[in-house]
Amino acid sequence: MDIMLPKVDGITFIQELRKQRVATPILCLTAKDGLNDRVKGLTIGADDYVVKPFEIPELIVRVKVLLRRYGKVNQEEQISYGPIAIQVRNRTITVTGEELTLTEKEYELLEYLLMNKEQIVTKEQIYNRIWGLDSEAGIGIVELYVHYLRKKLS
């Protein structure tokens, strides 16, 4: 089943976004596989171009590359909630002004939770974001790291 953009084609859509100076990375996912189509898509402002059919692992890697290249979209300098503050650029955490040392996964978990403050996030969402679908760790790892994080924050 092909899903098309309503009322406008992808090229026009990308051109309009770039005219408005929207800097969000764009990955074209399309059935148009001709060389001219690919060149045009990349020339008018797309950051990558994937032709259907595609393999999911390749798509995931391409998205990760775009995110790594451009950093998190609309990344804030500081994320805070109550007494907890994260300086995103240098990845430092303070709780009521005192610096807190966390492992890499604990940091990623805390950052994800603060980025989604006052929203419900499921264990599955946390697991997929922090450990990834290809992780060999079971979903129970989320509860374990939440426990570690709570202990260090108390």
Q: Of 74, 72, 96, 71, which is closest to residue 85 (Cα–Cα)?
A: 96
Range of the domain at 23: 10-70
- CATH number for the domain including 65? 3.40.50.2300
Tokens standing for residue 113: 């939770």
| Predicted structure pTM score | 0.55
Task: Indicate if 28 and 89 belong to the same structural domain.
Answer: no
Taking the C-alpha atoms of residue 41 and residue 3, their distance in angstroms, rounded to an integer, is 18
> Helices marked H in the chain — which ranges?
10-19, 35-43, 56-70, 104-115, 123-130, 140-153
Residues 92 and 66 grouped into a single domain = no
Q: State pLDDT tens for residues 92-136.
A: 999 999 999 999 999 999 998 998 888 888 998 898 888 877 778
28 and 52 share a domain?
Answer: yes
Instruction: Answer whether 78's CB lies under 8 Å from 87's CB.
Output: yes
Using one digit for the tens of pLDDT, what is the confidence trace for 55-89? 888 888 888 878 877 665 445 578 899 999 998 87
Are the C-beta atoms of residues 41 and 11 closer than 8 Å to each other? yes
